[in-house]
Amino acid sequence: MPKTETFDKAQVIKQVTEVFHQKSYSLTSMQDLVDATGLNRSSIYNTFGSKLDLYMLCLKSYQCEAQEKIHNILCSNDCYIKTLERIFYSNINDKNGCLINNCVTEMANQEATVHKFLKQNNDGMITLFKDIIEKGQERGSINKNKTAYEYAIYLLTAFQGFNLSNVLIHDQKDLKSIIKTILSVLE
């Protein structure tokens, strides 16, 4: 008779995500995951599969949390420049950077499964930014010097760069200035 699980999978994913976020995929050992969760290796492998399988679950969980945060921003604001500003501000205190951006720099070209996930995430972010830009352009709060798509890929690139810079730049004034400069292109 198989053993029944006596742990909360969602809690384990959260604990493991923190480890990957702090250490990266490559520098995280199975022992780190054992230490973080209190589970033995066989429980981790039997429940979640390989380290890569577990990492993918963590990335998807992190993505869902980020999407929920962005959804809340979208629902609470009808000024499109302010919405974009709040999306950037949502990561301003994350000194480990964005887990997904960190993954891009570490693994995007090394693992097909990871690459596919990251590509889908990028496409989703482009669509999100494009939708916001289109609405802003329709209402006149965002200029039409470029197409909504051109601005969307610009914003994605700027957002990713901001999240990477945020790891090293800790002065809030500088970070706010970066955001203001990025978004000034749209006004």
Entry pTM: 0.89
pLDDT tens-place string over residues 126-153: 999 999 999 999 999 999 999 999 999 9
- CATH node for 9-184: 1.10.357.10
Cα dihedral 57→60→64→65 (10° resolution): 70
Q: Tell me which residues of the chain have a pLDDT lower than 50.
A: 1
Given this model, what pLDDT does residue 94 score? 87
